[in-house]
Amino acid sequence: MRRLPSEVRVGIFLLVATGVLAIISPEKVAQSLSENLGMIVKILLLSIVAVLISVAIHYLVPPDFAEAHLRGNRLRYLVYATLLGILTPGPVYAVYPVVLALKNKGVQNPILVSYITGQTIIGPARVPLEVGLFGIDFFAYRVVLAVLLGPLAGLLYILFSKWLPDKV
Amino acid sequence: MSAGHTRKPLGGTLWRTLFVVGAGALFSVALGAFIRPDAVSALKAKVRYPLQVIYAELIGFISPGPRYVSYPILVKLKELGVDAGIIIALISSHVLIEPSTSLMEAGFFGYRFPVKRFLVSLILVFLAVMFTKLLVDCFGWRLL
């Protein structure tokens, strides 16, 4: 039997958990659902925009874009890696083949850490959801934080590597 | 690139995302029915702020699922008065490290890589939240 995608499995688990809550207190859950129907619809609409942005970037940015810009091991590459990570769409699993390819080309681990941090912490597909749900100020602040945290992640990794060096 | 080539991944991704986000929204709304605002206030009063951040980070790290799934729960927490720093801790830590990706990283790069990534992520998110708290408390900046 073909294995279900991880998102579908998580979705089924959440639906079952919702069902359990509805059995425990049907009145409370029904009231909460009717009060929050508008929010659910808003989240679904914003999710459609998020997927469209993600797919568009997937086709616009060549797969070897990060690889082409991170050959070298200078400290300033921590910043480049973070920015490239932020621009790389897709789930985190999809980015590991890129990370592995970079590693095989000699890119050092602190740069990879900055890249992973940038890719995971924010991304273009989050724009509609975060702006729609939390406002433009919140999203802009998160972008600024991501740009600062990515290089810092690489620097902290270098620091920790003095105590726990990478396997050679 | 043919239109069909574009349509197939878009359709698959779209339906999977809508399914999981819809399920996440239903779950958070159902769960929200059981959370009383006074219970959230009592928890905030009992647990000191830096510890709240560590809890939020650890909850984020072990939370499963793709990144979109956490948004409905975060909206509910925001409505219950949870502050911007804790929302940032949950939103950031949910994707920075996951048990499954840590195992994958250990397989690719050795166990030291995810151990250090975990420590780095813990410190980074903590610093980000404390910086946010400083901006909100000292300068009256309203993020949410």
Q: Min CA distance, B65 vs chain A (Å)?
A: 6
- Chain A contact for B5, CB < 8 A? no
How confident is the model over A109-116, as a mean pLDDT?
Answer: 93
- Supply the pLDDT for residue B9: 59
| Beta-carbon contacts of residue B67 (< 8 Å; ≥ 6 apart) | A91, A120, A126, B94, B95
- Supply the pLDDT for residue A27: 93
Predicted confidence (pLDDT) per residue in A121-161, tens digit: 998 888 898 999 999 999 999 999 999 999 999 999 999 99
DSSP state at residue B68: G
- Supply the pLDDT for residue B7: 47
Number of CB atoms found within 10 A of residue B61's CB: 19
- Cross-chain residue pair A55–B20, CB shorter than 8 Å: no
Question: Do the Cβ atoms of B72 and A43 come closer than 8 Å?
Answer: yes
pLDDT band at A1 (very low <50, low <70, confident <90, very high): low
Query: A117 contacts in B (CB within 8 Å)?
Result: 96, 120-121, 124
Cα A75 to Cα A78, A113, B115, distances in angstroms? 6, 13, 22
Predicted confidence (pLDDT) per residue in A5-51, tens digit: 777 888 898 899 999 999 999 999 999 899 888 888 888 888 888 88
Number of CB atoms found within 10 A of residue A135's CB: 14
Question: Do the Cβ atoms of A162 and A97 come closer than 8 Å?
Answer: no
Q: Give the residues of chain B that fall short of pLDDT 50.
A: 1-8
- Cross-chain residue pair A117–B124, CB shorter than 8 Å: yes
pLDDT for A117 beyond 90: yes
pTM, rounded to two decimals: 0.82
- Cross-chain residue pair A47–B68, CB shorter than 8 Å: yes
Query: A43 contacts in B (CB within 8 Å)?
Result: 21, 25, 71-72, 75
Out of B17, B21, B116, name the one closest to residue A160 (CB). B116
Question: Do the Cβ atoms of B15 and A55 come closer than 8 Å?
Answer: no
Nearest to B33 by CA among A25, A107, A88: A25
How confident is the model over A81-110, as a mean pLDDT?
Answer: 83
- Cross-chain residue pair B19–A32, CB shorter than 8 Å: no
Report the Cα–Cα distance between both ends of chain B, in Å, rounded: 42
Counting one residue from A and one from B, how many pairs have CB atoms under 8 Å apart? Answer: 189
3-state helix, strand, coil in chain A (%, to 5): 80, 0, 20
- Supply the pLDDT for residue B4: 39
Nearest to A19 by CA among B27, B59, B3: B27
CA–CA gap between residue B108 and residue A113 (Å, rounded): 13
- Chain A contact for B144, CB < 8 A? yes
| Beta-carbon contacts of residue A47 (< 8 Å; ≥ 6 apart) | A128, A129, B17, B18, B21, B68
CA–CA gap between residue B130 and residue B87 (Å, rounded): 12
More confident residue, B53 or A106: B53
- Supply the pLDDT for residue B6: 44
In degrees to the nearest 10, what's the CA dihedral of B129, B134, B139, B144?
20
Predicted confidence (pLDDT) per residue in A60-69, tens digit: 777 677 767 7
Determine the residue of chain B that is closest to A12 in CA distance: B23
Q: Both tokens of residue A63?
A: 């797969």
